[in-house]
Amino acid sequence: MMNTPGFSFRITARRGRARTGVLSTPHGDILTPAFMPVGTQGTVKGMTVGELEAPPLDARIILGNTYHLYLRPGLEVIAAHGGLHGFSGWPRAILTDSGGFQVFSLATLNQIDRDGVTFRSHIDGSQHRLTPERSMEIQGVLASDIAMAFDQCPPGEAGAAEHEEAMERTTRWAERCLRVRRPEGQALFGIVQGGPDAARRRRHMAEIVGLGGFDGHALGGFSVGEPLPLMYALLDELAAELPEERPRYLMGVGTPDDLRRAALAGIDLFDCVMPTRNARNGSLFTSGGTVVISHARHRSDTGPVDPECPCETCRTVSRAYMRHLFMAREILYSRLATLHNLTFYARTMSALRAEVSGIEASA
């Protein structure tokens, strides 16, 4: 059992360092390894709840963004609906990030100190204050199933001193997050920083895990500019050192190949804007490689985006039609493309689970 009542994590199969499992939450079970579609503004862009729930996509958990939902529509609106589930109509599990990455990525709009961050809204320039306690309060109003501890994510080009400072702050802020009373049934994950240095990562992992109160643990600060071979090497070395009995989450990563490499290293949960953002920008993931739908060779192609994909897009329309919609800037293109890319990610995860379990993957 995890620390929070109503949550549990059970490992069902292993293959090397990889494992499959069932993460149980108050809003349903999640089969791991799992990819979480990103719903930054309380919506996975272009998708309805029914489309996300329906096979073959069958999303069991989505991610919401604390920073963006706090600024718009505001906590009073979401509180009036009883939380993000009621506001968005999403009946399954939700994980909310702490807002830390968004605040720190907008470096020209913030001022960091020992206690927290003062920042200006990217929407209207209004000034706000975010501390570990305030982040937890916001996530409490959102009433997510899984909240994330407030952390400092340094930029990819940060030096050793900046990483050390971020680690020290993240540990101190994690302690403060653990002391905040959460809504009944809300789990809390801690975040490990440390940049591209294995020794720093391992040291910070010991600090975060040593706090003892987290229901799961995340690796943050990856895919911020470091070479892919270095990220893979760090994951191979460190992922399996996170506590065996708790879910492991790799934040903000990445391509289907990244997910496969990380899952085989022992990671259980993933999120990334790539499938939805790439879809809107004309890049589609397929079993034969990435398709750039704007290329002229697709103008008269009567075949599906991916003949091996069972999604509605691939069952009903051609590449030529998709290219037409994209070139005409029709809204329908984004919906169909997003559905396809998210289905591709979901099937990638299903195939990984089948591979680890030694069973045949479903279609």
Q: Are 214 and 188 in contact (CB under 8 A)?
A: yes
Strands 291-292, 283-284: pairing kind? antiparallel
Residue found under tokens 């975010």: 130
Whether the pLDDT of residue 348 is over 90: the answer is yes
Q: What pLDDT, in 10s, does the model give residues 185-236?
A: 999 999 999 999 999 999 999 999 999 999 999 999 999 888 999 999 999 9
Same domain for 121 and 221 = yes
Q: Tell me which amino acid residue 222 is.
A: F
CA dihedral 363, 256, 39, 268 (to 10 degrees): 80
Residue 2 falls inside a structural domain: no
- Which of 221, 237, 272 is the endpoint of a domain? 272
Pair (224, 280) in one structural domain:
no
> Tokens 């930029």 correspond to what residue?
155
Residue 1 forms part of a structural domain: no
Are 240 and 294 in contact by the 8 Å Cβ rule? The answer is no
Give the CATH number for residue 125.
3.20.20.105
Could you tell me how far CA 4 lies from the centroid of its own chain?
21
Strand order across the 117-120 sheet: 110-112, 117-120, 127-130
Q: How many domains does the chain have?
A: 2
Residues 47, 180, single domain; the answer is yes
What 3-state DSSP class applies to 96? strand
Instruction: Give the per-residue pLDDT at 361.
Output: 55
End-to-end CA distance of the chain: 32
Query: What mean pLDDT is predicted for residues 119-141?
Result: 94
Q: Is residue 339 part of a domain?
A: yes
The pair of three-digit structure tokens given for residue 256, joined into one six-digit string = 């289907």
Based on the residue annotation, tell me whether 151 is a catalytic residue of this protein: no
What's the token pair of residue 276? 């939805």
291: enclosing H helix or E strand: strand 291-292
The two tokens of residue 250 are 């790799």
Q: Are 250 and 235 in contact (CB under 8 A)?
A: yes
> Can you tell me the mean pLDDT for 349-361?
89
Catalytic entry in 97, 151, 268, 306? 97
Residue 175 shares a structural domain with residue 287: no
Mean pLDDT value of segment 300-307: 98
Q: 146 lies in a domain?
A: yes
Say whether both 259 and 279 belong to one domain. Answer: no
Percent of the chain with pLDDT over 90: 90
Q: What is the pLDDT of residue 60?
A: 98
Token couple for 308: 């091996």
In a domain, 123, yes or no: yes
User: In this structure, are residues 302 and 321 in contact, taking their beta carbons and an 8 Å threshold?
Assistant: no
pTM as predicted: 0.97
Confidence of residue 359 (pLDDT cuts 50, 70, 90): confident
* Catalytic one of 145, 258, 271, 306: 271
Task: Tell me the pLDDT tens digit for each residue of 238-289.
Answer: 999 999 999 999 999 999 999 999 999 999 999 999 999 999 999 999 999 9
H or E stretch including 93? Answer: strand 93-97
pLDDT tens, residue by residue, 54-106: 999 999 999 999 999 999 999 999 999 999 999 999 999 999 999 988 877 77
Which structural domain range is residue 284 located in? 274-363
Q: How large is the average pLDDT for residues 127-141?
A: 96
- Per-residue pLDDT at 224: 87
Contact 248, 267 (CB under 8 A): yes
Residue 108 covered by a domain: yes
Do residue 81 and residue 222 come from a single domain? Answer: yes
Mean pLDDT, rounded, for 118-131? 91
- 33 with 81, same domain: the answer is yes
Q: Are residues 258 and 353 in the same domain?
A: no
pLDDT tens by residue, 15-39: 999 999 999 999 999 999 999 999 9
pLDDT score, position 360: 60
* Per-residue confidence band for 2, with pLDDT thresholds at 50, 70 and 90: confident
23 and 72 housed in the same domain? yes
Residues 220 and 323 reside in one and the same domain: no
Residue at a domain's end among 257, 272, 287: 272
Same domain (yes/no): 267, 280: no
Contact present, 256 and 348 (Cβ < 8 Å) = yes
Contacts of residue 161, Cβ cutoff 8 Å, sequence gap at least 6: none
The reply to whether 97 belongs to the active site is yes
User: To 5 degrees, how large is the angle CA 349–CA 228–CA 31?
Assistant: 15
pLDDT of residue 107: 62
Per-residue model confidence as pLDDT tens digits over 304-326: 999 999 999 999 999 999 999 99
**Does residue 3 lie within any of the structural domains?**
no
The answer to the question of residue 283 being in a domain is yes
Say how far apart CA 70 and CA 218 lie, in whole Å.
Answer: 23
Looking at the fold, whether 310 and 253 belong to one and the same domain comes out as no
Full DSSP string of 203-242: HHHHHHHHT---SEEEE-S-SSS--HHHHHHHHHHHGGGS
Of 272, 305, 324, at which residue does a domain stop? Answer: 272
